Structure 1
Amino acid sequence: MESLNRQAEFEIKTTRMRQLLAEKQLDALLLQRVSSIAWATCGADVHINTAASDGACALLITPDQQFVITNSIEAARLENEEGMGEQGWHFEVTPWYGNENRLAELTNGKRIGCDGLYAGGQNLSAELAWLRSQLTQPEAERFRGLGRLCAESMQEAIRAVQPGMTEFQISGLLAGATESRGAQAVVNLIGTDERIFQYRHAIPTDKKLERYAMLVLCGRKWGLICSITRLVHFGPLSDEIEHKMRAVAAVDAAMIAATRPGNTLNGVFAEAQRAYAAQGYPDEWQCHHQGGLAGYEAREITGTPTTGQSILMGQAFAWNPSIKGAKSEDTFLVGEQSNEIITVVEGWPMIEIEIGNKLFQRPAIWVRD
């Protein structure tokens, strides 16, 4: 059944890509980014270097053909382990040491659309991000699996955190918990104590934890990326931290409540601005992006005051409102009746927010002795 679902999903993807070609009056679509290739192949892993955006192969799709352009190092794994052989891709393989530019030959004289920059090509990165955000049913199931994995990884790591650990050590806990479950910690941010108040993107350092730690994870598997943030505090919370956490939870709940079919990303953003103001922090949204559509990039499309894309059933979102010293973030799917949080950490303390006679639960800070 899984292979049948994957084949049906693959046919949906190829149809969408060829429709894009027809709309843009192009001869071929060139995909080189890890995210685009994973999407087009229903989850193939083509990364080698996690610091690189481009994969270990390129895909070229025409109205009647589909090519994988790669070298002799990668071809067998892509064909066998990543399932690209059974999808009907035609492999164009060159020696790893050769100077042949097979891609240039295949694209010569063609009007090319690309998922980024390519000489002579039309950049369709925005259009492809929108396509990647429109999840099929099998993708939604994979996203749920990844959400559980990321939540379990966060739970394991944060339970092991102790005062005196460096941020590097905490980062290692989070990376180890994630990687041991078969995912990649493509974003692994750790802030402790005053650094949580100073920096929205706290890259781990050798600073030792005293009382307060924030762990941020973007985990990747099957090409999909799931985001989650949790905070832990040793000893009683100050009134300031508790107030800010409740405020940011209210903003997050307002954004999740507004993320429904028929609304737009900038419509949700406007709701966030109103919620920030209502909580007494009208300018905090200006200090960090607020998240947006999730998918094969950490954010396929980031919400802004001018982002007018419509919200569709089945899409994934990860909003991440923050107030200096506090943050709230989970990944969720837009469902028929309500939204489904897929990064629920079992047993985590929660804050209840009532919006329109509905209760929303958002993560609190875990207070430990």
Structure 2
Amino acid sequence: MDEIALKLSNLRTLLAQCGLDGILLRKASSFSWLTGGLSSVINTASSFGEASLLVTQEHAYLVTNTIEAPRFLEEDRVENQGWKIILQDWFSSESPLNTMTRGWRLGSDFPTPGFTDLSLEIARLRSILSPEEQNRLREVSSLCAQAMAEAAFAVRPGMSEYEISAVLAHACLNRGVEPIVRLIATDERIFRYRHPPATSKTLQRYAMLVLCGRKYGLVVSLTRLIHFGKLPDEIQRKARATAYVDAIALSATRTGRTLGDVFKDITLAYETTGYPDEWKLHHQGGPAGYEPREWIATLESQERVVSGQAYAWNPSITGTKSEDTILVKEEGFEILTEISAWPTLEIEVSGTLIRRPAILEI
């Protein structure tokens, strides 16, 4: 079965299990997943695009308005994928979808009154990537790593966080990647905030660049830190401890294990490094794919690691962070967002050396 046919089959199995007449996919991430990487996004500030997908046991419908339909039909050629178009005038308050599905039992990928909430079940389906998706993910990861390297090596003292963010955005967009998350902090802001939107503050010595980049609907995440001048001993200690936690997280993400088991290994790694409570200050990541995190791992997570999933772990110890996107395989994991010119720390885990990004000293 091809990629889209397999996904439709999985959704129809879910339909039967839940006793529903149809599943409505409203999220932009689900649209990209089920169309093989097409995009319904117009407003990047929204989780929803300008089209929805309705799947029943017999049919698959693409629901959109008269503004968007020409692009879907002419450029994306969605009819070649087998989608039947349900069209609504942009100025009409009457929804042909509502008329067609009146009295139906429907599920949705987003909590919606009157619908069965299947958001977690569909996130799990999205998280297991087909061979075609894995190849697309490798491409997106390479482009994001190139963009991060271009931006990071262009950073200089005196630049504002806004300027650094703009350089990173340009490097992404120039490669056809949407920079859907850009977090930039300099100097003391790195120590104060785990989620630092850029400000007008200017860089003195220390900068952190965080990127979630999207192409074909797939999202990869990575973080890099830069220091001008000799790295202070305290930051150096924290950076190595964070790299150790990250290496443990990568090594622990093995097929068949529960995410709760992986998370427990992560918390024990924080304790081993002498920073036992730092994990409580920020989530540690989880499965990636068509969302920056399809869901966040916790100690209670019972979902199992599956070959073909992407993961982005992001351990942090105040003032430092380590983050890359990996692909889980039967025999281990593949780090997708490595930057070849970037300095690394070698961490030994169970006799295996795992390289994690160091802080770039300039």
**TM-score interval for Structure 1 and Structure 2 normalised by the shorter chain:** over 0.9
What one-letter code is carried by the residue in structure 2 that aligns with 1:263? R
For the residues of structure 2 that align with 1:94 and 1:85, how far apart are their CA atoms? 17
Choose which of 169, 179, 182 in structure 1 pairs with 2:163: 169
Structure 1 residue aligned with 2:40: 46
Structure 1 residue aligned with 2:176: 182
**Larger displacement relative to structure 2 (162-171 or 76-85):** 76-85
Q: CA deviation at 1:190?
A: 0.1
State whether residues 44 and 84 of structure 1, in contact with CA within 8 Å, keep that contact through their aligned partners in structure 2.
Answer: no
For the residues of structure 2 that align with 1:83 and 1:360, how far apart are their CA atoms? 44
Q: Give runs of aligned pairs for residues 179-258 of structure 1, distance below 5 A.
A: 179-258=173-252
2:52 match: secondary structure: strand
Structure 1 residue aligned with 2:8: 14
What one-letter code is carried by the residue in structure 2 that aligns with 1:175? A
Structure 2 residue aligned with 1:4: none
Choose which of 61, 69, 73 in structure 2 pairs with 1:67: 61
Structure 1 residue aligned with 2:26: 32
What one-letter code is carried by the residue in structure 1 that aligns with 2:179? A
For the residues of structure 2 that align with 1:327 and 1:230, how far apart are their CA atoms? 8
Are residues 1:316 and 2:322 paired? no
For the residues of structure 2 that align with 1:81 and 1:305, how far apart are their CA atoms? 45
What one-letter code is carried by the residue in structure 2 that aligns with 1:209? L
Structure 2 residue aligned with 1:143: 137
Structure 1 residue aligned with 2:272: 278
For the residues of structure 1 that align with 2:330 and 2:57, how far apart are their CA atoms? 34
For the residues of structure 2 that align with 1:285 and 1:185, how far apart are their CA atoms? 26
What one-letter code is carried by the residue in structure 1 that aligns with 2:22? A
For the residues of structure 2 that align with 1:348 and 1:159, how far apart are their CA atoms? 10
Q: CA deviation at 1:338?
A: 2.0
Q: CA deviation at 1:306?
A: 0.5
For the residues of structure 2 that align with 1:265 and 1:18, how far apart are their CA atoms? 27
Question: What are structure 2's unaligned runs of at least 5 residues?
Answer: none
* TM-score normalized with structure 2 length: 0.99
Choose which of 121, 131, 135 in structure 2 pairs with 1:127: 121
What one-letter code is carried by the residue in structure 2 that aligns with 1:129? A
Are residues 1:350 and 2:327 paired? no
Choose which of 324, 329, 334 in structure 2 pairs with 1:335: 329
1:213 match: secondary structure: strand
RMSD: 0.9
Are residues 1:361 and 2:355 paired? yes
1:306 match: secondary structure: coil
Q: CA deviation at 1:119?
A: 3.1
State whether residues 353 and 361 of structure 1, in contact with CA within 8 Å, keep that contact through their aligned partners in structure 2.
Answer: yes
For the residues of structure 1 that align with 2:216 and 2:101, how far apart are their CA atoms? 28
State whether residues 45 and 82 of structure 1, in contact with CA within 8 Å, keep that contact through their aligned partners in structure 2.
Answer: no
Q: Give runs of aligned pairs for residues 282-297 of structure 1, distance below 5 A.
A: 282-297=276-291
For the residues of structure 2 that align with 1:107 and 1:193, how far apart are their CA atoms? 55
For the residues of structure 2 that align with 1:79 and 1:195, how far apart are their CA atoms? 47
For the residues of structure 1 that align with 2:63 and 2:100, how far apart are their CA atoms? 10
State whether residues 134 and 314 of structure 1, in contact with CA within 8 Å, keep that contact through their aligned partners in structure 2.
Answer: yes
State whether residues 69 and 102 of structure 1, in contact with CA within 8 Å, keep that contact through their aligned partners in structure 2.
Answer: no
Instruction: Write out per-residue CA displacement over residues 210-258 of structure 1, whole angstroms, 9 at most, x where no aligned residue.
Output: 0000000000011110000000000000001000000000000000000
State whether residues 44 and 83 of structure 1, in contact with CA within 8 Å, keep that contact through their aligned partners in structure 2.
Answer: no
2:324 match: secondary structure: coil
What one-letter code is carried by the residue in structure 2 that aligns with 1:359? L
For the residues of structure 1 that align with 2:315 and 2:353, how far apart are their CA atoms? 19
What one-letter code is carried by the residue in structure 2 that aligns with 1:141? N
What one-letter code is carried by the residue in structure 1 that aligns with 2:226? V
Q: CA deviation at 1:27?
A: 0.2
What one-letter code is carried by the residue in structure 1 that aligns with 2:206? Y
Choose which of 102, 110, 118 in structure 2 pairs with 1:116: 110
Question: What are structure 1's unaligned runs of at least 5 residues?
Answer: 1-6
Q: CA deviation at 1:82?
A: 2.4
- The total of aligned residue pairs comes to 362
For the residues of structure 1 that align with 2:329 and 2:111, how far apart are their CA atoms? 35
Runs of 4+ in 1 over 4 A off after TM superposition: none
Are residues 1:298 and 2:307 paired? no
Q: CA deviation at 1:102?
A: 1.5
What one-letter code is carried by the residue in structure 2 that aligns with 1:247? A
What one-letter code is carried by the residue in structure 2 that aligns with 1:70? T
**Larger displacement relative to structure 2 (73-82 or 271-280):** 73-82
Instruction: Write out per-residue CA displacement over residues 77-132 of structure 1, whole angstroms, 9 at most, x where no aligned residue.
Output: 11232231211111111221222211211221100000113331111001000000
1:310 match: secondary structure: coil
Structure 2 residue aligned with 1:3: none
